Chain A
């Protein structure tokens, strides 16, 4: 697609429920990143996928968080047993295949998650 597409744009869920957030990167971008941004805060790294390599999961805050990337394209971020502190905007970004950190990112519009 022309840009990074994320869905849903907004999600309100009850505490304890599971949620799935989807990211469709730019065609041809093999690097995919998930970040979290709490209100008025900076960008918190969650997970990085590059091609068929093992993902860098070092930013996931707990074992309730997991992510998959099927077929080297679409990625799903799953949060199990959501807590109120999970409320944030979840941003996905993609970039060209290259050594990590050598090209700019294109961000999606994000999913605003609210846990009530």
Chain B
């Protein structure tokens, strides 16, 4: 079936380093790509999203890039801080539906 693949499943970085999480999708008609952050025991929260008419979007230390040709999009977190530690989920609109990646557990070590 058509899904969203997310890598890596776990990621550990030192505070201050950058973190990159990548997702690929299969439907060339997909046009909306949100990212969610879920802290331990909390609800998933939308942190940034991008639509297919742009290639990059930034919000302070986070950015998302989209490569429509290759059908992949990535979340970039710069100058990571301990409070960035969470599970991050990507998602893509596929067949008039929203499909989620399996999640990436990011650990930022002080």
Q: Which residues of A contact B (CB under 8 A)?
A: 41-43, 91, 99-110
Contact mask for chain B residues 89-105; partner A; CB cutoff 8 A; 1 contact, 0 none: 10001101110111100
Cβ of B89 and Cβ of A43 under 8 Å apart? Answer: yes
Closest CB-CB distance, A42 to chain B, in whole Å? 5
For B101, what are the chain A residues with a Cβ–Cβ distance below 8 Å?
A: 42
For B36, what are the chain A residues with a Cβ–Cβ distance below 8 Å?
A: 105, 107
Chain A: CB-nearest residue to B47: A104
Which residue from A42, A100, A106 sits with its C-beta under 8 Å from B89? A42
Q: Which residues of B contact A (CB under 8 A)?
A: 31-32, 34, 36, 42-46, 49, 89, 93-94, 96-98, 100-103
Q: Which 7 A-B pairs have the closest CB atoms?
A: A101-B93, A104-B46, A101-B98, A107-B43, A42-B102, A104-B34, A43-B100
Cβ of B44 and Cβ of A107 under 8 Å apart? Answer: yes
Can you list 16 A-B pairs with a CB-CB distance of less than 8 A? A42-B101, A91-B43, A91-B44, A100-B98, A101-B94, A101-B98, A102-B31, A104-B46, A105-B34, A105-B46, A106-B46, A107-B36, A107-B44, A107-B45, A108-B43, A110-B43
